[in-house]
Amino acid sequence: MSKSKEDYEAALARLQLALVETQVKAMAEGWKICVVLEGRDAAGKDGAIKRITEHLSPRNTRIVALPKPSDRERGQWFLQRYVAQLPSAGEFVIFNRSWYNRAGVERVMGFSTPAEQETFLREAPAFEAMLTDSGIKLVKYWLDITKEEQAERLDARRSDPLRQLKVSPLDAEAQKKWDAYSQARDDMLIRTDSEASPWWCLTTNKKKRARLNLIRHLLGQLGAPDIEAPDPDTLFRFEAEAIKDGRLAP
């Protein structure tokens, strides 16, 4: 094992132990933890979730990755089916994509109307304020990646038989509609960032670095002691200037 891999594995093990200790406290005190992971296709959401949850309690940890809505769900208030997935006392819930589908893939692919998308962008900050007011610890991450790195990862995914379950028909659109996804991202971040529920942006071209910084930040948000602060060049609080100054991939 190379020195760099040894260092990564050791750092990851320390952070995973801190996650376990934090969950023990969360379960004892009845915390309701809700983590939202959004980002480009192939930005590393699945890998980050795997490292976060690897040693956590299966009974008190849920990963939510909802399929497309049923006919009945399409007739509901859009946020209704997500409400049913929110954490109860002592639970840690991670959304692998979330209600923000409406501001991202639905917008770019035309799966909802402009009026529905506008309603969502108007409602989301108020909805999230209600969640935090109710005692839910809500942390939102946007995982960002460059167009070139995304292309390499999508190609690797298609050529690896063990990754065939990760291949989606929408993968082909990720590169074709890159600019449309960029505009949707920018509008979403600007419209739904708030003091009650801020967006945290993570650059993920370097997967291992991104995972470590994400876990460090999450632990910090949950009040874990003696955790090193994340690298501000890798993980930072969203601000509009990041769209133009190169921190977010154009």
What does the pLDDT look like over 104-134, one tens digit per residue? 999 999 999 999 999 999 999 999 999 999 9
Domain range enclosing 47: 3-244
β-strand 136-144 against 61-64: which pairing, if any? unpaired
Residue 250: inside a domain:
no
Q: How many domains does the chain have?
A: 1
What pLDDT sits at residue 1? 64
Query: Which structure tokens are listed for 78?
Result: 């859009």
Give pLDDT, residue 167.
85
Which residues of the chain are modeled with pLDDT < 70? 1
Q: Which long-range contacts (CB under 8 A, 24 or more apart) does 231-236 make?
A: 233/203, 234/202, 234/203, 234/206, 234/209, 234/210, 235/200, 235/201, 235/202, 235/203, 235/210, 236/200, 236/201
Q: Which pTM value belongs to this model? A: 0.96
pLDDT of residue 171: 86
Question: Does some domain include residue 249?
Answer: no
Q: Report if residue 118 sits inside a domain.
A: yes
Q: What whole-number distance in Å separates Cα of residue 174 and Cα of residue 40?
A: 8
Indicate which CATH number applies to the domain containing 205: 3.40.50.300
